[in-house]
Structures are given as C-alpha cells and as structure tokens.
Amino acid sequence: MKIGIFDSGLGGLIILQEIIKQLPQYDYVYLGDNARTPYGNRSQEVIYDFTRQAVDFLFKKDCQLIIIACNTASAEALRKIQQQWLPKNYPDRRVLGVIRPVVEKAVEVSGGKIGVIGTKATINSQAYIKEIAKLKSEIEVIQQATPLLVPLVEEGWQKSAINRKILRKYLRPLKLSKIDTLILGCTHYPILYKPIQSIVGKRIKVLHSGQIVAESLADYLVRHPEIEEKLDKKINYKFFVTDWSEHYQKLGQTWFGKDIKFEKVELR
C-alpha cells in the first residue's frame, strides 16, 4: 500500500519533495485538485466535499495513509473526515493533516508571539489559534489572511516585483506586532520562503512546513509499526491532477525538482 499526498493545487509537491528526502523508500501517490484551486475563498461545506472526494480517490488508489497537505482542507475538513467519514468507509486507514505538526514546532521555538499567514478560510477557521492554545495558552497569535499569494504562485509570479510588493503589504502588520516566529499556513508559501524571510528579517523565525511535516510523518511511522509494515517499498511515484496544461506540467516539475508526468483525473 501507498502514502497519499493531497493538496488543493500543486503546492503540496513541495511537501512531498521534503517527505521523499527523509523517507525515500516508500511508494507515493500525489493528487492536486488544481482545477478547483484555491479552496481558501470557498464555504466550509464545499471544502469538505472536495476534500472527501480527494481522500476517497486516493484510498481507491491503494493508499493506506493520506497526508492532507492543504492547510485550508486540514482546517475545515480534516476533523469531520477523521471522526465521521473515515470510521464508516475506511476504518483501517488513516488521514493526517499539516496544522498540528507545524503548531508543535512553532510553540517549541517561539518566545511568545507567533504570526500566521494563510488563506481566508484557514485564518477564519482560527485552527492555528486553537491548536496553539491547546499547547501553550499564553502565546499570542497574530493572523493575516493573504488570499492573493496562491494565485500568484500558481501563475509562476513568485519572483515578480508585484509579488514582493504584495508580500510587504501583507507582512507589515506582523512585523509591527513584533512576532518572533512566522507560520506559513499554506503549502504554496514555502515557494516564497526566501522573499518572506528577507522581508521579515533574520530576527523572525520563518518555519518551513515541508520539513516539519516530513519529520512528523517519519515519527508517526515509527510510533505506528502496524501501519508502516503495510506500506510498499518499491520507490514508485504517481502524480494526478484535475486539470492539465503545459503550464501546470512545467510548474509541477519546477516545484518538485524532477521530471514528473501528470495524469488528469476527475473527482466526484
């Protein structure tokens, strides 16, 4: 059986790349719902429906364990999938998100003031605020919705002057609030890691979610040998998207860092 990685677009390829660096021995299936990205401006009901379709697709592709790499889906759909849908449909399989491991790392390194940037849905869900409060209630959390970043990254404009101008505007309130740690609350944002770190300055620790999620998955498999022993170790990777074009093909290969072949599928 395989490990599935799901994202609303192609940003999850960065998460997968980091996971493969640490755990190269397993088989992986990637699904990007790029036909319907971004999820961040949609209702909770629609986000749940889209996420459930994606998870069901990956389980039918023989995945034992799925990482929902999308922060919006993790915030708005993960709990319902874990508690209601999974026990009825795939009780012997597991679905994990990306918010909890990043929060654990942020709380570990922060001096008391954490900033979060993410889509409108992720910010409005207050998922990061709630998770941080569970671990360390005295930490102050300052959030900033950054809805323009996903479409800019998906268009490949991350190095453009307009992107840097927008980043400065989004990050200014967080800098003025004197945060000491910044969570990139979207899988697309590590692509902007360098300009974000440059703008906020060295005093602020910018967390790379890909590395953190990969470390968390490695630890999870050690703690759950009953799942790990079911996983195939043929080093076989498959990539699915809900929309295909030359643009997406080039973008995916650039972000993943290797030649990959996307297969177009329809979710329902």
Pairing mode of beta strands 94-96, 2-7: unpaired
Q: Which domain holds residue 163?
A: 99-209
CA distance 46 to 67: 19
The pLDDT score that the predictor gives to residue 139 is 97
85 and 109 fall within a common domain: no
Q: Which of 194, 209, 224 is the last residue of a domain?
A: 209
Q: Are residues 88 and 104 in the same domain?
A: no
* 87 and 135 fall within a common domain: no
Catalytic-labelled residue, pool 14, 69, 70, 103: 70
Contacts of 245 (CB under 8 A, 6+ apart): none
What pLDDT, on the 0 to 100 scale, is given for residue 159?
A: 80
CATH of the domain at 171: 3.40.50.1860
Residues 83 and 216 in one domain: yes
Residue 158 has a pLDDT of 78
- Whether residue 166 sits in one domain with residue 137: yes
Residue 111 and residue 166 in one domain = yes
- Using CA atoms in the order 206, 194, 191, 228, what is the torsion angle rounded to 10 degrees? -50
Q: What are the average pLDDT values for consecutive 10-residue runs of the chain, which has 268 residues? A: 94 92 96 90 94 98 96 92 97 95 96 94 92 95 93 81 93 96 91 93 92 94 96 95 91 86 94
Last residue of a domain, one of 163, 184, 209: 209
Residue of 186, 192, 207, 231 marked catalytic: 186
For the entire predicted model, the pTM comes to 0.90
Query: Is 63 designated active site?
Result: no
- In this predicted structure, what is the pLDDT of residue 175? 95
Indicate if 235 and 253 belong to the same structural domain: yes
| C-alpha–C-alpha distance, residues 103 and 74, integer Å | 13
Q: Are residues 113 and 18 in the same domain?
A: no
Q: Are residues 69 and 200 in the same domain?
A: no
192, 209, 226: which is the final residue of a domain? 209
Q: Examine the residue annotation and report whether 70 is marked as an active-site residue of this protein.
A: yes
If asked whether residues 108 and 201 sit together in one domain, one would say: yes
Strands (E), the chain: 2-7, 28-32, 63-68, 94-96, 113-118, 140-145, 181-185, 205-207, 237-241, 262-264
According to DSSP, residue 207 is labeled: E
Q: What is the pLDDT of residue 23?
A: 96
Instruction: Give kind and range of the element (H or E) at residue 158.
Output: none
| Type of residue at 138 | E
Structural domains of the chain, count: 2
Q: 135 and 196 share a domain? A: yes
150 close to 156: Cβ distance less than 8 angstroms:
no
Same domain, 232 and 186: no
